[in-house]
Structure 1
Amino acid sequence: METNYRIAYNKGWQDLKKIKPEEIIARRSVSYCNSTRQFTVTFFNSEYILDWDHETIYQKSDGQSPKIMASIIILNYLTFSEVSRKPDHKWVSLKEIPTGGALFYPAFQKNSIELLIEAFGSQSEKLLSCGAALGGVPESMGSASVSFQAFPEIPLCVVIWEGDEEVRANGTILFDPSIADLLHIESLIGLGMYLASKLKQLAASKMVT
């Protein structure tokens, strides 16, 4: 798995370097410094620096490198499409994403949504505090829900319905339909997995109560 991620990471840099920086900043909400040859990208509520010459990605605040999955998602965000599409301002499930969402949904359910149900299915209110740590904003769906800006153009929303002795807890991750033009389907799914994993880590930590 690590080898596959490394291949995707290296390909992301290869694809990025085929595009002129001015083309990227014209269609993505990022900045580029000519003197340092670095992009600045906002991913959730943190700024990341992409160094063109050294092919590195690190958090602006502390210099820490993100997990390789997050790095691949950031690179794909910069390189995937020439389209600069605004959000449709509605929510759909992965099943409704036309670029293969229905095909990948069973694995997405297992690897992302089930993590959220385990973490918040019996304590949905904790989703609000965990979500806030990633810049999330409370919404009015389910027992608890939080929307996030993964990137300035890419919102997504986590919804939890608490269970009881008779009804099993449930959850979902919702996307704006415009995401199909902004991320490859694998990175879209990876984005959901990344968010679910981060939220579960926060729920298990003593940092968020």
Structure 2
Amino acid sequence: MARVDDFQQARDLAAEQLAQQDLTRIARRAGYETVDDATLRIPFLDRDYRVSAPAFTFSDEANPEAQIPLQEQVLILHYLLGCRQQLKGQWVAYREIPGASFYFGPFVKRAIEPLKKVFGQNSAGLRTAAERLNGTPIDTGDAGFHFAPLPYAPIQIIVWEGDEEFPTEANILFDASVGDYLSPEDAAWLASLTVYRLMAVAR
């Protein structure tokens, strides 16, 4: 498991690389807007961040004193580095992301298992939480939703409620382009951060 200093190092490296690029071009290719010549506005699930160049420091618009989790910072910065507006419109399971088989166990532990535990018998709760995170219903499972936590890295979260005959099932799907933008670890964080935010707003 990555340590705090590993995330900090990854954050600092990504920020250094982004500092060498034009902020307007970064915003355009990643699907964001600039607030001014040195600031990006980045909606992320139910929060709005401002990211200031050249250090690419984060602040929460609603709570400027809040600490932004390093995992979220790293994920967003890696997305800003890699995104090229190349959605393929084809949904794939996590295992189908190139190189993801090595990280499949942590992905299940961090995303699929919590999803099943909290919403496996509570599809109504998932619907309520998804609405608060701007999820769009899809016609799959007992409850399924499309999310765009990052503009060009959407995911689908799906739950099938279990019964006496069949166990609870859940899945998280990605656009097939995600491996072009994000590493398998980042894709897993994208899924798990969305699931944990759903859990938080459902409480």
TM-score, normalised on structure 2?
0.89
SS at match of 1:154: coil
Deviations 1:72-91 (A, max 9, x none): 1111111125x331x22232
Structure 1 residue 97 and structure 2 residue 97: aligned? yes
Corresponding residue for residue 146 of structure 2: 147
Residue in 1 that maps onto 2:14: 12
C-alpha distance 34-144 of structure 1, shift in aligned 2 (>3 A): closer
The answer to whether the 8 Å contact 1:58/1:66 transfers is yes
Which residue does the alignment assign to 1:186?
Answer: 185
User: What is the match of residue 43 of structure 1?
Assistant: 44
Count of aligned pairs:
200
Q: State which of 78, 96, 100 in structure 1 corresponds to 2:80.
A: 78
CA distance in 2, matches of 1:60, 1:93: 34
**Structure 1 residue 52, shift from structure 2 partner:** 1.2
Q: CA deviation at 1:33?
A: 4.6
| 1:160 and 1:170 in contact (8 A); partners too | yes
* Contact 1:161–1:170 (CA under 8 A) maintained in structure 2: yes
Deviation at 1:34, TM superposition (A): 4.8
Unaligned runs of 5+ in 1: none
Question: What is residue 169 of structure 1 aligned with on the other side?
Answer: 168
In structure 1, what residue type is equivalent to 2:63?
Answer: D
| CA displacement, residues 102-141 of structure 1 (integer Å, 9 cap, x when unaligned) | 2322221122100000001111121111111111111111
SS of aligned partner of 1:150: coil
| Alpha-carbon distance, 1:23 to partner | 3.1
What's the CA shift string for 1:31-64, capped at 9, x where partnerless?
Answer: 23554x1112232354321011454212223324
- Contact 2:19–2:56 (CA<8 Å) still a contact in 1? no
| Corresponding residue of 1:200 | 199
Unmatched 5+ stretches in structure 2: none
**Partner residue, 1:21:** 23
1:27 Cα deviation (Å)? 1.7
Runs of 4 or more above 3 Å deviation: none
Give the alignment of 1:103-142 within 5 angstroms. 103-142=102-141
Distance, in Å, in 2 between the alignment partners of 1:73 and 1:130 is 22
For 2:201 and 2:164, the matched residues in 1 are separated by 26
Do the aligned residues in 2 keep the contact of 1:42 with 1:152 (CA within 8 Å)? Answer: no
- TM-score by length of structure 1 reads 0.87
Distance 1:54 1:96 in 2: 34
The corresponding residue for 1:157 is 156
TM-aligned CA distance change 1:34 to 1:201, over 3 Å: closer
Alpha carbons 1:144, 1:160 under 8 Å: kept: yes
Q: Report how far residue 166 of structure 1 moved.
A: 3.0
Measure the CA separation in 2 of the matches of 1:128 and 1:79. Answer: 33
